[in-house]
A and B are shown apart, each in its own frame.
Chain A
Amino acid sequence: MPAVSKGDGMRGLAVFISDIRNCKSKEAEIKRINKELANIRSKFKGDKALDGYSKKKYVCKLLFIFLLGHDIDFGHMEAVNLLSSNRYTEKQIGYLFISVLVNSNSELIRLINNAIKNDLASRNPTFMGLALHCIANVGSREMAEAFAGEIPKILVAGDTMDSVKQSAALCLLRLYRTSPDFVPMGDWTSRVVHLLNDQHLGVVTAATSLITTLAQKNPEEFKTSVSLAVSRLSRIVTSASTDLQDYTYYFVPAPWLSVKLLRLLQCYPPPDAAVRGRLTECLETILNKAQEPPKSKKVQHSNAKNAVLFEAISLIIHHDSEPNLLVRACNQLGQFLQHRETNLRYLALESMCTLASSEFSHEAVKTHIETVINALKTERDVSVRQRAVDLLYAMCDRSNAQQIVAEMLNYLETADYSIREEIVLKVAILAEKYAVDYTWYVDTILNLIRIAGDYVSEEVWYRVIQIVINRDDVQGYAAKTVFEALQAPACHENLVKVGGYILGEFGNLIAGDPRSSPLIQFNLLHSKFHLCSVPTRALLLSTYIKFVNLFPEIKTTIQDVLRSDSQLKNADVELQQRAVEYLRLSTIASTDILATVLEEMPPFPERESSILAKLKKKKGPGTVTDLEDIKKERNSDMNGGTESTPVNASTASTPSPSADLLGLGAAPVTSSAPPPSSTGSLLVDVFSDSASVVAPLAPGSEDNFARFVCKNNGVLFENQLLQIGLKSEFRQNLGRMFIFYGNKTSTQFLNFTPTLICSDELKSNILDLTEPLDMQIAVYALITVCQMHK
């Protein structure tokens, strides 16, 4: 039943609102509003001073009009006047108006601040409440400057009423958020921490909110709050449902306060032993309660209970230190993944993403892969499907990469357009990161182009080309695959770009097969030429000139194309220039020059994937990288392992000049960052002639070493982190050795420095020792060269 005249009716306002609602059209509404505005304007300007009630009514009408969406450019003065009234309702409307229609006129601000100051000093809790609310609602820098010093005093004063304390705490919080520089830490901080022990749970709730935000920037000041928070939480969680009375919400004790306390604890690392024990107990109780039958069928009960549960799981994940709790959390989330309620499935998928990056629970999360894939396929709600994609991305590692990429590609076929680009980027990143067999990588990217070509950004197809260029083993396969893909009747332009480039570089690898002879390749590409945009056509022209070099037998065919008017007189300057210059080049250059100019592309220098950068940019700063960093950190033990346990592989030196064969391949090499004094367990000294040289062989590499007696090339040493290969060349009296260090992990080695150790006699034979090349991410090759006399 509409209680129109609840308290003070303001009949005039109700009538006005009715009128507006009865307007049949937008024009009628505007007309009515303008009429009212004129009326109010005249009343405000009028000679007769308005009484409080009328002022209040008109200000309220103005507010209503504003909230309808129309601009209001007067009334502020009248609203400010209302502030100084002694009548509560008038003050209230005045404050509401200025909170909603914030004005930056400095005179008004001065007056408003004055009114607020008076109300704060009035010692009337209702007025103080209004003033604090206004400060919190507006929260401007001017207000912060004026009042930020005052409010902490109100907050911690002994005689402040509970309700005012609550308001003061939250008001201070608001000011801190917008103007932290005006809220310096001081004596009051310890008193605020003490508020956590207050009897009034409302005060505790407000104080917890305040401390949580302050602690993020000033953790030291508030670290004593941790133990207080834990004991408070403990008491709440173990309380019976009748204990907390007012603060029990549908049989859940103080859910808001519990959530806030758990959030406060997430500002700090795991506490020390005594407190930690209590906290663990507490968290276990929360987890246990989740398994008990519910006390009420109402959704409010389960929502409140689960809100606390999810926050507790957040804390467990944040601490990342109790494997037992982590596994339990994971299991609980696993249960929720299959819950009837969509909300819970959504939240479980979301929480599991964070869990996936913890090293303790990564494996546990992976066990749910089938459920997540099923969610991807069957969930009706697109938001939930998106969470499933995110989780698959987070839980992806070498063991399940192929499966996950396949599922994501599958999903891509029917995904919403708005999320396709993101999925494309993610698939591209995963495919590259976890590719063991690069033919799979090439297939995946080509599939991406086929399924969602429009959303495959440049970074993705640049990358596939970079990788194909850098990897000999996949070039032929790539050429063959793009050739086949191009034969589809309607292929995406991005495929033409990739295909054009790859065939231009490596078309020769498949030219032997009559089905992909040079002429067929050319005709295939040229058949798409006219359907493509200018940049693609430019790329194809470059491919054609490369073909002139690769396949002299079709040179005239290509020249005819270049010579045609549509190229030489093309409206686009770039195309015209290319056609003219390439035609000329093909005519006047000798085969040698042509071969030099159009030589195969050298490998690209390794650098950070620009795809990752693009995903970062899409998601906002500090998002994806953090996940990647977390993944890297998880693997950093492996890196650390490299550094701390020396990987020694070496061939021993022998001073004896007669041992030629050994001498040739016998530059001992130690690769390790730590100083030689570190004790490795690798003291198999096979050639113990020279005492000076530390030349132990890594265990298990004796065979490898022995092989080099007869062979020039091969793997000298290998473990799961590192592979060391050797390649040597000898000409007359000179020998040259290349030593390759291959990084077998998916993360970067840090501070990796190989050192060459050899005996003095041998040193004199070394002519040249090249410094290692700069380190890059992923695979890199270091070349140490020493030339020795026989």
Chain B
Amino acid sequence: MRSAGRPGPAPYLARLSAAQGPGGGAMMRFMLLFSRQGKLRLQKWYLATSDKEKKKMVRELMQVVLARKPKMCSFLEWRDLKVVYKRYASLYFCCAIEGQDNELITLELIHRYVELLDKYFGSVCELDIIFNFEKAYFILDEFLMGGEIQDTSKKSVLKAIEQADLLQEEDESPRSVLEEMGLA
């Protein structure tokens, strides 16, 4: 029987050739969120790629991940990258990392993101992410930048997001809001 998707080179071999990648071998290339039906809910790319190529990669990778069975491990090889994925309810969270990246910590990075979403939305579900997609992006941006984790303190990330929300509710110029908050 055929296994879904083409396997890439063994990670240790990828490690040895790691210096060739733009990230020096350790960089998150992209993150995808998609449903079991293959609907893409969020896509964040950390390396410039053409739209055509992005669509192709998304299609391929979704196929590979959706074909995996529940008991299988959370890591797989795809093209020349490592993919770390985890399913939360109806959503698959999928990160593609380079050869030298640490798989387990990426798994926890995914978990941290889910925790943030959960705290923000209050028991987050897929619908939240559909209807508030721009918020999902903002939270992700507060947490990851250029593919690297920005702040690992849950508290400070949530604080930053909540402050942004407060800013939204004020009609006055943001400058005075900041002054009120004592940030300026």
Contacts and interface: CB of A to CB of B under 8 A. Distances in A.
B15 A416 contact: no
B164 A343 contact: no
A213 B148 CA distance: 12
Nearest to B161: A7
B17 A626 contact: yes
Interface residues of A, number: 100
Residue from B51, B102, B122 with most neighbouring chain A CB atoms (10 Å): B102
Given A205-B149, A216-B24, A353 B132 contact: no
Contacts of B5: 418
Contacts of B150: 166-167, 170, 202, 205-206
Nearest to B75: A346
A3 B17 CA distance: 46
13 contacts: A2-B132, A7-B169, A124-B174, A173-B146, A174-B46, A205-B150, A259-B105, A304-B104, A342-B71, A387-B10, A390-B13, A418-B2, A622-B17
Given A126-B163, A171-B146, 9 more contacts: A2-B131, A127-B174, A170-B150, A173-B148, A342-B73, A386-B7, A386-B77, A390-B10, A620-B80
> Which 5 residue pairs are nearest across A and B when measured between Cβ atoms?
A174-B146, A307-B104, A246-B153, A623-B13, A619-B9
B8 to A, nearest CB: 8
B134 A255 contact: no
A126 B22 contact: no
Given A201-B153, A303-B104, A350 B11 contact: yes
A228 interface: no
Interface string B84-126: 0000000000000000101111011101100000001111010
A261 B100 CA distance: 14
A346 B107 CA distance: 14
B16 A627 contact: yes
A238 B85 CA distance: 31
Contacts of A17: 130-131
Q: Number of contact residues on B: which range applies?
A: 35 or more
Contacts of B120: 6
Given A6-B121, A178-B48, A622 B20 contact: yes
A177 B47 CA distance: 9
Given A96-B137, A394-B12, A418-B6, A380 B146 contact: no
A554 interface: no
A183 B2 CA distance: 47
Interface in A54-93: 60, 63-64, 67, 69, 71, 86-89, 92-93
Contact of A170 (B104, B121, B146): B146
B26 A263 contact: yes
A529 interface: no
Contacts of B3: 382, 416-419
Contacts of A166: 145, 150-151
A390 B13 CA distance: 9
Given A7-B168, A311-B102, A624 B24 contact: no
B26 A307 contact: no
B12 A350 contact: yes
Interface string A1-19: 1111011100000100100
Contact of A6 (B1, B104, B155, B165): B165
Interface stretch (A133-141, A632-640, A649-657, A719-727): A133-141
A126 B178 contact: yes
Nearest to A138: B48
Nearest to A621: B17
Nearest to A87: B174
Contact of B121 (A3, A8, A202): A3
